[in-house]
Amino acid sequence: MNKNIGFIGCGKMAQAIIGGILKSNLVNPSQIIASARTEKTLEDVKSRWNIQTRLSNIGAAAEADILFLAIKPDVHGEVIDEIKDSIRSHAIIITIAAGISLSFLEQSFGRKIRAVRTMPNTPSLVGEGMSVLSANESVSPDDLEEVVKIFSCIGKAAVMEEKMMDAIPAISGSSPAYAYMFIEALADGGVKSGLPRDQSYQLAAQAVLGAAKMVLETGLHPAELKDEVCTPGGATIEAVAELERKGFRAAVMSAMEQCFEKTKALSGKNR
């Protein structure tokens, strides 16, 4: 890719994307420019990847063909006001923050821009992320293809209409937290049954990873895969029945509803 990629903010998600891009050889280290609030962060990423670094946000923004706003939602307005007169006219602006709408980006920059709203998740740190993208009408199909290529370096990427974006945190953005709680509960159950703690975590995590791969790679419905594990009169169906009695599915769906409502509230502030 013959583009300079800029990052304003260089936290964990930005570093995951930078690492994925370079591992995939999508661009050279010299084509990545990152700014951060502290010299220590910049020294760390410079020593790790030999990318270009800037203490000034304007410095990173002015050189980028694709610019990531890898910052918290509540500082978008302040940072955009700082850089809006310095970005290139053809630059693609990407936000990775929950609740930041495309219209908010356009209004904050005060003019038509090429804007992409995204929602990656933390498994991107190990190359198994799920990122959802939504672009405004100024973004061409070729532009969007380039952005998808970037996010494909850290896992899978899907393009959806913006009206669906508020639902994404509940199902893929925040759901790793639910999965970690499930893995922890499985491990606690293993410890209760006498297994060592470290082996319990390994067994639980690998089982969840394997189950997820079965869904993705077989194309079978999760219910069908569940039925294949449940032999008649066996132990698994007893466990499934107890999960149903305790409201397992209802609890998950209720949690997702709460997450969705919170995301909508955040989006309402940034439209």
Per-residue pLDDT reduced to its tens digit, 68-83: 999 999 999 999 999 9
Given the DSSP bridges, would you call strands 114-119 and 155-159 parallel, antiparallel or unpaired?
Answer: unpaired
Domains in the chain: ranges and CATH: 5-165 (3.40.50.720), 173-267 (1.10.3730.10)
The answer to whether 28 is a known ligand-binding residue is no
Reference 179, options 121, 120, 232, 222; nearest CA is: 121
**pLDDT at residue 270 greater than cutoff 70:** no
The answer to whether 72 is a known ligand-binding residue is yes
Reference 88, options 118, 63, 57; nearest CA is: 63
Name the one residue in this structure whose structure tokens are 């991107």: 124
> Once rounded to an integer, what is the mean pLDDT over residues 146-173?
95
The answer to whether 8 is a known ligand-binding residue is yes
The answer to whether 71 is a known ligand-binding residue is yes
Predicted local distance difference test score (pLDDT) of residue 240 = 97
The answer to whether 9 is a known ligand-binding residue is yes
> Once rounded to an integer, what is the mean pLDDT over residues 167-184?
95
The answer to whether 171 is a known ligand-binding residue is no
Residues 135 and 143: beta-carbon distance below 8 Å: yes
Residues in the chain: 271
The answer to whether 10 is a known ligand-binding residue is yes
Distance CA 190, CA 159 (A): 39
pLDDT-derived band of residue 271, with 50, 70 and 90 as boundaries? Answer: low
Reduce the DSSP state of residue 34 to 3 states and report it. strand
The answer to whether 11 is a known ligand-binding residue is yes
The answer to whether 230 is a known ligand-binding residue is no
Give percent of the chain with pLDDT exceeding 90.
Answer: 93
Residues 35 and 57: beta-carbon distance below 8 Å: yes
The answer to whether 269 is a known ligand-binding residue is no
The answer to whether 12 is a known ligand-binding residue is yes
**pLDDT at residue 140 greater than cutoff 90:** yes
